[in-house]
A = this chain, B = another copy of it.
């Protein structure tokens, strides 16, 4: 199993609000088109490199997400010509990701109209799994994502519930920023996000048709 992909990412793009029930649980407004933000590569936490560090006075939430590891350069894609087949062709592999979020800092930024970069970008705020070969995930819209807090299931939903599917995510992003090989794209989190306290243990993973994918397992404190 390898984590070399994580060193190659020149940018890490994350979709916000891509699952209806997650939008509801945070009392957010459903977006009319995908919006996204950047996480810095310095926030990556590789397997067995823990712990995740919660800054003092900060409410830290977990958000389990499917990450795409891009394999092609994509620029100004034509939505009429870029469907699921083309999207999968452009993907090199996958990873499981947890988009850790300083929720109180993000809420304050939202109120003041300030960037999200601080609330999303602390060191260790991006736990990643090992590289998942493409062959393990025949359809990225049919993956079950799950996350447990101290062994108790908190998130457990299918990527089929995404509001904006992967072709739509990639065409939107590519109209703004050129997507480059190695870039990581986080596709949003399903419902069930919540906060972690010192000593809490997070485990997360993904399964396809009931079969757990070894490379996708994450565990950290």
Contact = CB atoms under 8 A, between A and B. Distances in A.
Interface of A: 10-11, 13, 16, 29, 35-38, 40-43, 55, 75, 109-118, 121-123, 175-180
A123 B178 CA distance: 7
A110 B112 CA distance: 7
A13 B13 CA distance: 15
B118 A11 contact: no
Copies in the complex: 2
Contacts of A110: 113-114
A35 B178 contact: no
Given A35-B118, A123-B177, 7 more contacts: A29-B112, A37-B115, A37-B117, A42-B178, A75-B123, A110-B114, A122-B176
Contacts of A175: 55
